[in-house]
Amino acid sequence: MKNMSSKIVGVATGLVFIGSSVFAQSLADAKKAIDAEQYQKAKSMLKNLTATQSTKDENFFYLGWVYLEQEYVDSAKATFTKGLAANPKSALNYAGLGAVALANKDQAGAQTNFNQALSLAGKDSKPYQYVGESYLLGDKPDGAAAVAVLTKGVAVNAKDPDLYVSLGDAYRSQLKNTEAVTAYQNALNLNPKLAAAKVSTGVVWRQANNWEESEKEFKDALAIDPNFGPAYREWAETDIRWAQKVPAQASAKVNEAVEQYRKFLSLTDNSVESRLRYADFLYQAGKFKELQEEATALSKMPNANLRAYRYLGYAGYENADYTTANTALNTWLTKADPKRVIPYDYYYLGRIQLKAKDTTAALQTFEKTVQLDTTMGDLYADIAKIYYAKRQFVKAGDNYAQYVSKSNKATLNDYFSEGFSYYFAYGDQLSSKATPKPVADTMLLVKADSAFSHIQSKLTTPNTMVTLYRARLYDLKEKDRNNIVGYAKPFYEKLIEYTTAKPTPTEADKKNLAEAYAYLGAYAEYKEKDAAKASENYTKAREADPTNRPALDYFKRKGGAAAKGK
């Protein structure tokens, strides 16, 4: 009996052990690990579940979803396909394939798979949730599409708190903060222990620059679950935003952010993916020394994730280690899947090429960057400067025009550069020795004058330099001094008015003044046929600048007493 009893105890113990093992490997626990961003742990559990419960399509879906979260799109697609092999009517796995199609910029394929997912969903709200979340993945979320499908999901099952969290995220992507907070509160009403809803509410307050309220929500989430890592991550990213907006607290908040992020890492599996996200955080925090150290370590790991080279390239540039930066970025750009390359990769490559004084390569790279992302308006200034240095003034002007229209950093000096470029472009065309001689494009003068007049409209006092160049560009319209029209006359008169009002004109002012008087002299001589007035203006030109060529030529033509200034 004793032996039998021992065997029974042994069997019972074994059953308890097996039961605990199965519980530890349950889908619910895997989903909890996903929510906590413990992706390696979740993958391990889900791989086990797909092997031991290979007929359950849900196991394949959540494994595929983890791959998507980590940007392993091909692995995700293969896993969703296995899920459909396990159950050809798996709505979730169709939703997953739709998400893969979106990641691959295949809108038609995405819509086909999403439609199939929702047609098979029935009363299950989860396919609606994940179709909605699919629209929120990547750099350019489609919040409107997500809201539309998630709202349909709520109609199917208004008791699913996770659905409301996803709906809140969709509204948040559209900056509809009131609607987002309402959705998160609906989720909490259904499940007051839902830490994710608290964290997401904190992110909304961060978007509104309400740092204290944001911080409170993260603390509330950690009160619900002290080990909920995403709360620390979002808290860290809030501290960074706080530091950027409130310079007086910047240093303290950046250091606090780094500490919060380390807590997040300690609560995840510290996987390569988590460390890559940490690298992204270090970039946002401006911690480039630490970023280069982390990226270097990641790049030396066996089968290193190629994204490590992106961060190594960025950090190397910011740390003035241009050789390392160039090697790393070229490794990333030549080996990474083209779909994973972003415009900022080329932005940094172009910056590195500029440092190497390879302006031709930098120009090609920058132009490729703005083609990929036309919102990167700041780059147009770099492109314009390169073209200007190459004396390709039309292209320089065009790119300055793009810069002032698309960048919020443009100053009046940039408008001046735009005007200068078009002005010189016209002058080059006018003096071209090419055969056949090009017809000078007067629209260039119109564009130049538009830029100069914009500057003057923004100034409370007249600017003599702007007035001078408006006069000069109108002077360029004159075909022949013998048939002078007087386009530039009002501008040169204004220039004289502004300059003579100065208490102590500079030498440059005097030369410009002489230029203005010489023009008026020519106008009086050739247009008005007023010899006395012409002589008076040329005399004033010579007095302002004894070297003024038009004045000297005039008196040389007249000879005698006039030549001696009498």
Domain boundaries, the chain: 377-460, 484-563
CB 130 within 8 A of CB 65: yes
Residue 137's H or E segment, with its range, is none
Q: Which residue has the tokens 């409301």?
A: 164
Find how far residue 180's CA is from the centre of its chain: 24
Task: Compute the residue count for the chain.
Answer: 566
Q: Are 306 and 335 in contact (CB under 8 A)?
A: yes
Indicate the DSSP class of residue 505.
Answer: -
User: Does the bond joining 436 to the residue before it have cis omega, within 30 degrees of 0?
Assistant: yes
Task: Answer whether 476's CB lies under 8 Å from 445's CB.
Answer: yes
Tell me which H or E stretch contains 288: helix 288-299
What does the pLDDT read at residue 25?
A: 65
- In three-state secondary structure terms, 433 is coil
**Alpha-carbon gap, residue 26 to 301, rounded angstroms:** 31
DSSP 342: -
| Contact (Cβ atoms closer than 8 angstroms) between residue 530 and residue 520 | no
User: Which of 378, 446, 448 has its CA nearest to residue 418?
Assistant: 448
User: Max alpha carbon distance in the chain (Å)?
Assistant: 144
The answer to whether 220 and 198 are in contact (CB under 8 A) is yes
Please check whether the domain covering 484-563 is classified as CATH 1.25.40: yes
Do the beta carbons of residue 69 and residue 34 sit within 8 Å? yes
Going by C-alpha positions, the residue among 346, 350, 351 that lies closest to residue 373 is 346
Give the separation between CA 65 and CA 46, rounded to whole angstroms: 11
CA 349 to centroid of chain Cα atoms: 15
CA distance 27 to 342: 35
CA 304 to mean position of chain CA atoms:
26
**pTM of the full structure:** 0.68
Distance CA 224, CA 198 (A): 9
Dihedral angle sign, alpha carbons of residues 219, 224, 226, 231: negative
- pLDDT one digit per residue (tens) for the chain, 566 residues: 333 333 323 333 333 333 333 434 689 999 999 998 888 899 999 999 999 999 999 999 999 999 999 888 999 999 999 999 999 999 999 999 999 999 999 999 999 999 999 999 999 999 999 999 999 998 789 999 999 999 999 999 999 999 999 999 999 999 999 999 999 999 999 999 999 999 999 999 999 999 999 999 999 999 999 999 999 999 999 998 898 888 888 888 888 998 999 899 888 877 787 888 889 889 988 889 999 999 999 999 988 899 999 999 999 999 999 999 999 999 999 999 888 899 999 999 999 999 999 999 999 999 999 998 988 999 999 999 999 999 999 999 999 999 999 999 999 999 999 999 999 999 999 989 888 888 889 999 999 999 999 999 999 988 999 999 999 999 988 877 778 999 999 999 999 999 999 999 999 999 999 999 999 999 999 999 999 999 999 999 999 999 999 999 999 998 844 444 44
Q: Please say whether the dihedral angle defined by the alpha carbons of residues 531, 534, 539 and 545, taken in this order, is positive or negative.
A: negative
pLDDT of 399: 97
Q: Check residue 18 and give its pLDDT.
A: 34
Q: Token pair of 564, please?
A: 């001696």
